[in-house]
Amino acid sequence: MGSIFQITCDGAFFNRCLDCFLGKVANTSKLQDNLVALETELGKLIAAKNDVMMRVVNAERQQLRTLDQVQVWLSRVEAVKTEADELIRHGSQEIDKLCVGGYYSKHCASSYKFGKQVAKKLRDVQTLIGEGVFAAVATEVVPERAPEPVADERPTEPTIVGLQSQLEQVWRCLVEESVGIIGLYGMGGVGKTTLLTHINNKFLESPTSFDCVIWAVVSKDLQLEKIQEDIGKKIGLVDDSWKSKSVEEKALDIFRSLREKRIVLLLDDIWERVDLTKVGIPLSGPKNTTSKVVFTTRFVDVCGSMEADKKFQVACLSEEHAWELFRKKVGEETLESDHDIVELAQTVAKECGGLPLALITIGRAMACKRTAEEWRHAVEVLRRSASEFAGLGKEVYPLLKFSYDSLQNETIKSCFLYCCLYPEDYGILKWDLIDCWIGEGFLEESDRFGAENQGYYIVGTLVHACLLEEVEDDKVKMHDVVRDMALWIACEIEKEKRNFLVCAGAGVGAVPDVEGWENVRRLSLMQNQIEILSEVPTCPHLLTLFLDFNYKLEMITDGFFQCMPSLKVLKMSNCGHVKVLKLPFGMSKLGSLQLLDISHTGIRELPEELKLLVNLKCLNLRWTHMLNKIPRQLISNSSWLRVLRMFAIGFENSKEPSEDSVLIGGGEVLVQELLGLKYLEVLELTLRSYHALHSFLSSNKLKSCIRSLFLNKLGDTKSIDATALADLKHLNELCIRSAVELEELKVDYTEIAPKWSEHFVFRSLHRVTMERCHKLKDLTFLVFAPSLKSLSLYGCNAVEEIISVGKFAEVPEMMGHFSPFQNLQKLDLSHLPALKSIYWKPLPFAHLKEMVVHWCDRLKKLPLDSNSAKERKIVIRGRADWWNRLQWEDEATQIAFHSCFHSNEI
């Protein structure tokens, strides 16, 4: 038997099989031709690629960018070339496998596969050659500007000494907070531009969402066109036609270009308000988050006029950072060249007061000084006449002088230069400085209050211009380098006009050559070791003489003042502490004298000759604690007196004043003489009896003048009507001392409490001191003193509560409305054995800087909680055993104030 095997297929299937077979045969049979064609076409593709690459390079040189399609084509060409080269390299091996005239292969499968790859790659190469025509045209016809960096890098030192934390603060405002305008202010040479430059460059290091950072220098001569030009260059608007447009037209172009973008505008060195809308900057409002503006200025007032959402003061460097910068500029090789140089270099660095510009200038000047003698000479020059030091007079002072030149008028300039009469680092009392300005005639005195207000305005102007520094609420000082600059102006630049001679803080024991005083107008010998003024100088033009803080001064020859006919201001405070100072008879020759300051001296009596100072308008006797004799009629004869400061006089002199002294008794005679002073406007007074106090309080004239009141002893007085003191609208300072029988400062709380919110009773009271008032129970009246800044209690044995809750028993509804000590800055409590409470509940203490507690062992709890002095570091001083016994509101409060304590064992 046999079997029959039969296959049946339709025509379509047969045709598909035939096509497949013929395709395989074709890929195999044409392999050699395809390889030759592939190598030929690949050569053409490489030539096309080279042409395109040349055009790309040329475009990049012109800062143009080719389309992304061109870059993709070039990448595909590279990939195909690599693959084609591999096929061509293996082609000869595959051709050797062919037989039967090239239609059949000894290895059918591999030859078919290789032939198929060659055919495909040939088609790919031919496709890329066709696309290469477009690529070549694209590089030439459709170029785009290469994307510019967000910011243009500006040259600066790679690191910023002492400004890193401030850089981070400003940066956070820029990238995190909804702050539109940021002001950086500070004195010239302090590093504002350096900080702004690092902010600019940080945009190149840190990715942000901003599209553009624009830098423009404004400078003293404000020109909106210049700012617009800097902006136009950055955003591609500047051409000949644009330059010819008006400010308004340019502003519109800038606005249209930037309104959809997130930009940062950096404005360096602003001296006055820049109207950003007139420039064309799109700002949606004070909290705008689309555009940001950061500017530098020397004037804090500019931060206000620019409506800055945040302002940062760029201050001088700390001593540590100043030394780091100075050391860097001098160089280690120089510092190590002599074992004495490091210590001398630290001294030189301190003379720069942390001002970076001075540190850099002097550091560079000393970089090659490698002997101790050269460094000692540098110290001497800097202390004697800093303007002679290399670089300061040419680089540092002229830069700082721009701030001086920008002051509004000659009056303010004169007031500024006057400050250089004080020694380095000297804290100048504002009111004392203003007294001198008025005495010199800088300020109009027809209205004393108006003149004082003008004086405080000028002080504020100088502080805001960073030419003075505010060290306390009532004190300012000059930065050392600014002071040197002021001396440079007064003694060299305007030598003939100003005529200053300043030897303040020099430590000299002898008076400088008096023959050189003939043309001097202002002379300062403050803070020296002068013991005797024995010569008779001729000073026809002298207006101001400062002799303060010559502690050893014991004798002034009678003729010393006889040739000073123009002298208006004579200051001798803090003189003669070692030996008693006596005023010379020759002072009677000072017929032009307007201000005489002999405060803080051990002087025991005023000479009769002072009656001849007929033009005297200001007499300062503050803290002449031994003064026992003021001749009768001396004060009343000084008919032009406007200011009389007699706070804390004679309180340490146990000897009873003589009959011919106005200080006899408790002060009643003194009050009677004061009533005769027609022009008196400012009074500081010491009284020693309740009767004298009552006599004083009966005069509306004297009550309107009083600024400071010192009540000493007061005999057997048990109570003072504090309500009567409330009528003293300008009372700034109150001290009650050794009132051993005083039990209370009485206030009718039922009468005052309902009115306290309408008008605070002791509105102007800033400082209160109570000493040795052994029977005093409390100072509850201080709840009505909202401006109180300093409170000092010493030796008040009976005080149990400073603010007594019991006093409000009759007005309990008011208790929740009081929050005393809102402006208190210093609280000093000492030797108060009965004290249990400062206040019955925690207080915010928004301005408290220091609390001192000594020998108050029954004070177990402070009026503090975790919100007290929030975000402010206060200092609490006392004994460690007292601190360790304190009870706290809660654990959070104890933790919050743990680091505030400073042990001060006494």
CATH number of 164-313: 3.40.50.300
- CA 188 to CA 560: how far, in whole Å? 42
pLDDT, residue 427, reads: 95
> Residue 1: is its pLDDT beyond 60?
no
Q: Which run of H or E residues covers position 769?
A: strand 767-771
Tell me the percentage of the chain whose pLDDT exceeds 90: 59
Which amino acid makes up residue 616?
Answer: L
Q: Which of 496-505, 574-583, 689-698 has the lowest mean pLDDT?
A: 574-583
Quick: pLDDT tens for 529-551: 999 999 999 999 999 999 999 99
pLDDT, residue 239, reads: 79
pLDDT, residue 98, reads: 63
> Residue 815: is its pLDDT beyond 80?
no
pLDDT, residue 72, reads: 82
Tell me the percentage of the chain whose pLDDT exceeds 70: 89
- CA 406 to CA 403: how far, in whole Å? 5
pLDDT, residue 288, reads: 45
Q: Over range 397-401, report the average pLDDT.
A: 90
pLDDT, residue 17, reads: 41
Q: Which of 384-398, 456-470, 841-855 has the lowest mean pLDDT?
A: 384-398
Highest mean predicted confidence (pLDDT) among 121-130, 235-244, 247-256: 247-256
Q: Over range 550-559, report the average pLDDT.
A: 92
> Residue 66: is its pLDDT beyond 80?
no
Reported confidence tier of residue 7, pLDDT bands at 50, 70, 90:
very low
Reported confidence tier of residue 28, pLDDT bands at 50, 70, 90:
low
Q: Over range 746-751, report the average pLDDT.
A: 76
pLDDT, residue 699, reads: 96
Q: Over range 856-875, report the average pLDDT.
A: 89
- CA 601 to CA 625: how far, in whole Å? 8
Q: Over range 167-188, report the average pLDDT.
A: 90
Q: Is residue 338 within 8 Å of 368, Cβ to Cβ? A: no
Q: Is residue 50 within 8 Å of 134, Cβ to Cβ? A: no
> Residue 413: is its pLDDT beyond 60?
yes
> Residue 605: is its pLDDT beyond 90?
yes
Architecture of domain 11-145: Up-down Bundle (1.20)
Beta-strand pair 522-524/544-546: parallel
Reported confidence tier of residue 777, pLDDT bands at 50, 70, 90:
very high
Which residues does residue 185 pair with via DSSP β-bridges, in sequence order? Answer: 297, 313
If you write DSSP's letter for every residue of 495-528 in order, what string do you get?
Answer: HHHH-EEE-TT---SS---GGGGTT-SEEE--SS
Architecture of domain 394-498: Orthogonal Bundle (1.10)
Q: Which residue has the higher pLDDT, 502 or 872?
A: 502
Reported confidence tier of residue 524, pLDDT bands at 50, 70, 90:
very high
The H-assigned helical ranges of 163-295 are 164-175, 192-205, 224-235, 240-243, 247-258, 276-279
Joined tokens for residue 543: 């207006």
> Residue 94: is its pLDDT beyond 80?
no
- CA 887 to CA 99: how far, in whole Å? 108
Quick: pLDDT tens for 284-340: 644 445 789 999 999 999 999 999 999 999 999 999 999 999 999 999 999 999 889
Reported confidence tier of residue 3, pLDDT bands at 50, 70, 90:
very low
pLDDT, residue 607, reads: 93
Q: Over range 692-704, report the average pLDDT.
A: 95
CB 519: neighbour CB atoms within 10 A? 13
- CA 620 to CA 596: how far, in whole Å? 6
